[in-house]
Structure 1
Amino acid sequence: MSAPQVYTEEIFDGSIYFFYAFDVGDDIDFEQVRTAPGLSTSKANLSKYFKNYHRPLQINSSELPNECISVKVHSFGALSLTYRVPFSSTLAHVQARLDHLEDQYNEYALAHAQIVFKKIRSFITKPKFYHTRSSYVTIQVEPVPQIDAVTFKERYGGIIASSVRFEVETLSEFQKNEILDTAIGYYRGDLIVIDTDAAFVYDDEYQEILDFFEFANVQQLELQYFDRVLDQQLNSIYEGKTQGVPFRAYLPFVGTLLKGPVDELSKLKVDISVITERLESSIKIAGEPYFYELYSILVDKLDLKGWRDSIDKKLAIVKDASSVLQKKIDSVREDLLTTLIIILIFIEVLVGLLRL
């Protein structure tokens, strides 16, 4: 019995795309960014499957290298950078280089994001570089006419599975099959394999797909950031730091005009709810089963639903804490008002007795 044929020397053309996202503040004023001296901006070109109100602002800078094909500023306080590294080599060579390339472009993205951040810092509410970061990698291979998706998957399934896990060794059959089982494709020659940190695309019409990878990475960034903010807020609640309510807040009429911990918690809840809902509703793929399936796999692999569920649970705790704190303030105000009324009645009685 002859040994199975191994395809390791076949040359393929393609590109590796590195997606990075950084949270750099609360809000970014697009109008000021557009009119800032020394900055060149334009409307970001997005797929038709994205709603216009989420459209980010494209930053153009000669200080960034050619492989940095996109720098976008998002109004909710995020930067996203995309790098394209073309290749013409064997898939085994791509697999061997991938881990090193990721380390290299991690450093590039950090340096280039700092350049952009310095240019727009004055237009950001509560700027900070950086709160949270996220990344994703996509390996795109140009299809070969004589190799359809099924054949390609059979020949290179092991290399694909190892590549999306950034491994140089061959994975077990169980791991390989688990990764490849979620593979999808639209036409006969297409193949897309999506995993938690990377994806593999065997397709020559892939530009719209890249927008989904970039957006999902930004979405994951914001969910991780809000989860982190809520963790900090909950820690403050547990440690009793939110109980430091100024005395004026308890005063009837006067206290309602002051902004206290309850207002801060309520604003935090509203901000998080609005932005997460806005991100989730930015994609319009109703009636598009292929893109719906692709995005659903991305949501599952990046655990976006898990992050959202975690945020919802913590928001519920914050809401309960706000209610308890508000009830305490209302109770103290009522007691103060009752005491004030009793004092006034006592004074009135005392004045009446003195007159007699």
Structure 2
Amino acid sequence: MKAESLWATREGGKVSRAQLTSTPPKALTFGVAPLQLSLGSTRLLLGNREVTAELSVRLYDFGVAALAARVAVADQTWDTFVADFDALDRAVGPTSLAFWTTLLAHVREVVLPALDRPAADASIEEDYLIGTVQAFSEPLDASALRDRVDIAALLSGEKRALSAASRRELLARSFSYYADDMVILTWDRAFIYEPRLDSDVADVIEVANAQLVEFRYYDTLLDDELPRMYERVENARGAMSLLASRRFAHLARRLYTLVAEVTELTERVDNALQVTEDVYLARVYSTALGLFRVPALSESVDRKLAIIRDTYAALYGEASSRRAELLEVSIVLLIMLEIVLMIFRH
């Protein structure tokens, strides 16, 4: 609750815990619901006109901040909607990192006292663009929608016509629950047609992206740690025998702490969203995870953790062996000293 109170005291803005709007809690729930903070609004230039973007952030308990800018439009042709979608990407997309880092710095400054082991470097980020349509000028079901509008143009961001194969690939990950809804996922964009104002699909896409960021962070962290670990092991082995056991024990404790911390937080990431009964959202969620290669990153982190665990076990065993050797030497020296003293007494 500390982050909530810090934000409410400092900013006075809206604070809430994110909840899925239409899915029963027993069917699909957040492990720990992210904290949602309102960041006010800003003006963005889309083409030759200014629009208002509502800004917000969700803070996940495993350490990810999901920043969002939402622009509402109405009474547009499909071509204008696609053009605005691309313009929004240019305004706040990958080339506008400073826009997001400024927002993140502000959030971090306010909630920093509530953070546990905050990362010094927050350079790992992912951007994702979602276009949501709630209604067309006439009722359309999902099958008719594909024929009436060029969804591939929205998802690709390309101005030129795509090949038939490219269009099939872009539209391959398509899901519908009711006849009049649709979601299509790609690596960096999604299209959602949802007349019932349901945001659950967008929420699970965000969770999958948050998990991607966190696993990328730990994969990079362990990539950097492994060479240092090997170097420290060699240095410890090169020490004099009397000091080696202490160095081995110290290094083993350090590796154990690292493994414990990473394991704890990756378990939080794995449990960020718990799916039990909602088959539709489960399919969207698992497809997003696979598309973002989250399982592959998770396996990579697990492999590197296994290497560190094995190294820890070997170091612990070697430290114990060195201590046993030292104890044996001490016992032999004591026996020899006792013999020498007995000789001198006689």
Q: In which range does the TM-score fall when normalised by the shorter chain?
A: 0.7 to 0.9
Aligned match of 1:192 in 183, 191, 209?
Answer: 183
Distance in 1 (CA, whole Å) between partners of 2:17 and 2:70 is 17
- Alignment CA distance shift 1:52-1:300 (3 Å): closer
CA displacement at 1:87 relative to structure 2:
2.4
Structure 2 counterpart of 1:173 = 164
Question: Following TM superposition, by how much is the alpha carbon of 1:345 offset from its aligned partner in structure 2, in angstroms?
Answer: 1.2
- Mapped partners of 1:93, 1:189: distance in 2: 22
What percent of counterpart residues are identical?
A: 23
Instruction: Tell me the residue number matched to 1:209.
Output: 201
Query: CA, structure 1 residues 166+314, in 2 after alignment: closer, same or farther (shift >3 Å)?
Result: farther
Q: How far is 1:230 from its partner?
A: 0.9
Query: What is the CA distance between 1:344 and its match in structure 2?
Result: 1.2
Matched with 1:335 is 325
Q: Name the SS for the 2:128 alignment partner.
A: strand
Contact 1:136 1:197 in 2 (8 A): yes
- Secondary structure of the residue that 2:62 maps to in structure 1? coil
* Residues 228-307 of structure 1: pairs in structure 2 closer than 5 A: 228-238=220-230, 240-245=231-236, 250=245, 260-307=250-297
User: How far off its partner does 1:139 sit?
Assistant: 0.6
1:130 equivalent to 2:122? Answer yes
Q: Superposition pairs for residues 103-118 of structure 1, below 5 Å?
A: 103-106=90-93, 107=96, 108-118=99-109
SS of structure 2 residue aligned to 1:229: helix
**In structure 2, do the counterparts of structure 1 residues 187 and 53 end up closer, same or farther at CA, with 3 Å as the change threshold?**
closer
Give CA deviations for 1:54-103 in whole Å, capped at 9, x if unaligned.
Answer: 12223345587773342222333221212111223333333334444224
- Match in the other structure for 2:300: 310
Of 322, 325, 343, which residue of structure 1 is paired with 2:312? 322
Within the candidate set 53, 73, 84, 1:67 is matched to 53
- Within the alignment, does 1:225 sit opposite 2:217 as a pair? yes
Seen in structure 2, the aligned counterparts of structure 1 residues 349 and 178 have a Cα distance that, compared at 3 Å, is same
Residue matched to 2:33: 55
Counterpart code for 2:134: E
Pair 298,61 (structure 1): closer, same or farther in 2 beyond 3 Å: closer
Native 8 Å contact 1:96 1:168 kept in 2: no
Partner secondary structure for residue 275 of structure 2: coil
Q: Which amino acid aligns with 1:331?
A: S
CA positional deviation for 1:51 = 4.0
Q: Which residues in structure 2 correspond to 1:22-37 (within 5 Å)?
A: 30-31=1-2, 34-35=5-6, 37=9
* Pair 324,271 (structure 1): closer, same or farther in 2 beyond 3 Å: same
The residue aligned with 1:3 is none
Contact 1:223–1:304 (8 Å) recurs in 2: yes
Which of 143, 147, 167 is the aligned partner of 1:154? 147
Question: CA separation of 1:59/1:129 partners in 2, compared to 1, >3 Å: closer, same or farther?
Answer: farther
AA in 1 matched with 2:65: L
Provide the alpha-carbon RMSD of the alignment.
Answer: 2.7
Deviations 1:134-182 (A, max 9, x none): 22111111233432211111233xx322332332322211121122222
SS at match of 2:36: strand
Cα 1:237–1:100 shift into 2, 3 Å = farther
Q: Please report the TM-score for the alignment, with normalisation by the length of structure 1.
A: 0.80
Structure 2 gaps, min length 5: 44-51
1:135 aligned counterpart, secondary structure: coil
Unaligned runs of 5+ residues in structure 1 are 1-29
CA distance in 1, matches of 2:171, 2:279: 20
Q: TM-score if structure 2 supplies the norm length?
A: 0.82
Distance (whole Å) between structure 2 residues aligned to residue 276 and residue 168 of structure 1: 40
**Cα displacement string for residues 184-228 of structure 1 (whole angstroms, at most 9, x for unaligned residues):** 111111111011111111112331112112211111111110111
Q: Secondary structure at the match of 2:10?
A: coil
Matched, 1:42 2:42: no
Pick from 127, 132, 136: which aligns with 1:140? 132
- Matched letter for residue 84 of structure 1: R
Q: Secondary structure at the match of 2:127?
A: strand
Amino acid at match of 2:89: E
| Cα pair 2:40 2:54 within 8 Å, conserved | no
User: Equivalent residue for 2:66?
Assistant: 80
